[in-house]
């Protein structure tokens, strides 16, 4: 590829990214407009300032491990094709077995192996 082709690809990707941000940003503004139009007669509505509208959303997640107070409870769902084991710690899938599918040793295939919550 010569430099002109690389430049054209970069410009097309940049324009596509710009239009994608404009499209999804417009959808958020439309949602705010819908909230304003849902106000009925005699009701009050707090109009957000431009600073409030442009403020980033709080999408922070804490990944701090805390000692769980309760015991882990496991729930098993069994069907002819698979056996799923769920845990109450986060509602996560703890184990998946497929009885119809056999491995080299003739044992059912497993994709997730259950471990204690704190050893994951």
What confidence score (pLDDT) does residue 42 get?
78
d(CA 12, CA 19): 11
CB 119 within 8 A of CB 105: no
Query: Which pairing describes strands 74-78 and 83-87: parallel, antiparallel, or unpaired?
Result: antiparallel
Give pTM, 2 decimals.
0.40
What confidence score (pLDDT) does residue 9 get?
92
Higher pLDDT, 14 or 94: 14
CB 96 within 8 A of CB 110: yes
Average pLDDT over residues 92-104: 86
Q: Could you tell me what percent of the chain has a pLDDT over 70?
A: 78
d(CA 45, CA 38): 10
DSSP classification of residue 57: P
Q: In sequence order, what are the residues at sequence separation of 6 or more whose Cβ sits closer than 8 angstroms to the Cβ of residue 114?
A: 74, 85, 87, 94, 95
pLDDT of 40 over the 90 cut: no
pLDDT of 58 over the 80 cut: no
């Amino acid at each position: 590829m010569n430099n002109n082709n690389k430049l054209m690809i970069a410009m097309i990707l940049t324009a596509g990214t710009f239009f994608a941000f404009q499209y999804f940003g417009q959808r958020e503004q439309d949602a705010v407009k819908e909230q304003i139009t849902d106000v009925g007669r005699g009701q009050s509505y707090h109009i957000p300032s431009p600073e409030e509208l442009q403020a980033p959303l709080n999408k922070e997640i804490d990944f701090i491990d805390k000692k769980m107070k309760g015991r882990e409870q496991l729930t098993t769902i069994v069907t002819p094709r698979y056996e799923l084991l769920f845990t109450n710690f986060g509602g996560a899938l703890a184990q998946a077995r497929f009885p119809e599918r056999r491995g080299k040793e003739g044992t059912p295939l497993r994709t997730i192996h259950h471990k204690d919550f704190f050893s994951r």
